[in-house]
């Protein structure tokens, strides 16, 4: 009598279920990782936009102060700098943007000024403004509408002394 042995090829139902379950967990983990990566990238991009525009607005104001002939008016919410050509430039907030009387907005419509700009002026011994400090806060996104992860807020501060010619 001859004995033949059968070798089965294929997988059992249990083996298939284990492989499908492991594959499902790996797929869920990869999806979560990609989602987190994209959300982080959006937050980083928003942060870069806020930083660039805040730095630009601050540098424009500080440059104007440094090269100005003097300060004509300094209140907490407005600054008027007298230029070398005897004209004046005023900085203030309009429509939630930092603006100047030249009709130019120093921040874009994508950002909101949430506080400031606040101007603090220090006088020298002669009573003339010698140092101007500026502080303001910019925000991208609206906390009432956007998710917390989509809202970026940053504070900017700087100061400049007037040059004596």
State the chain's mean pLDDT as an integer. Answer: 84
Asked whether 123 and 90 are in contact (CB, 8 A), the reply is no
Which residues does 151 contact at the CB level (< 8 Å), separation at least 6? Answer: 139, 140, 141, 142, 143
The percentage of the chain sitting over the pLDDT mark of 70, rounded to a whole number, equals 92
Which residues does 15 contact at the CB level (< 8 Å), separation at least 6? Answer: none
Comparison of pLDDT for 154 and 37, the residue scoring more? 154
Instruction: Extract the runs of DSSP E, i.e. beta strands, from the chain.
Output: 70-74, 79-82, 88-94, 97-100, 111-123, 129-140, 152-161
Q: The whole model's pTM is what?
A: 0.70
Which residues face 152 on adjacent strands?
140
Residue 4 has a pLDDT of: 64
Asked whether residue 2 carries a pLDDT value surpassing 60, the answer given is yes
pLDDT digits 0-9 by tens, 74-89: 888 888 988 888 888 8
Q: Phi/psi of residue 60, each to 5°?
A: -65, -45
């Amino acid at each position: 009598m001859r004995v033949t042995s059968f070798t089965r090829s294929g997988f059992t139902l249990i083996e298939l279920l284990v492989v499908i379950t492991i594959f499902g967990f790996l797929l869920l983990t990869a999806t979560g990782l990609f989602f987190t990566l994209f959300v982080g990238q959006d937050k980083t991009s928003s942060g870069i936009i806020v930083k660039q525009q805040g730095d630009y607005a601050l540098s424009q104001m500080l440059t104007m102060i440094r090269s100005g002939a003097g300060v004509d008016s300094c209140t907490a919410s407005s600054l008027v700098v007298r230029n070398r050509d005897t004209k004046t430039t005023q900085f203030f907030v309009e429509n939630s943007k930092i603006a100047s009387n030249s009709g130019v907005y120093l921040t874009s419509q994508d950002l909101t000024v949430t506080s400031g700009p606040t101007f603090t002026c220090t006088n020298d011994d002669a009573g003339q403004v010698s140092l101007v400090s500026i502080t303001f806060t910019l925000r991208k996104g609206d906390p009432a509408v956007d998710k917390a992860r989509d809202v970026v807020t940053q504070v900017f501060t700087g100061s400049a002394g007037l040059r004596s010619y």
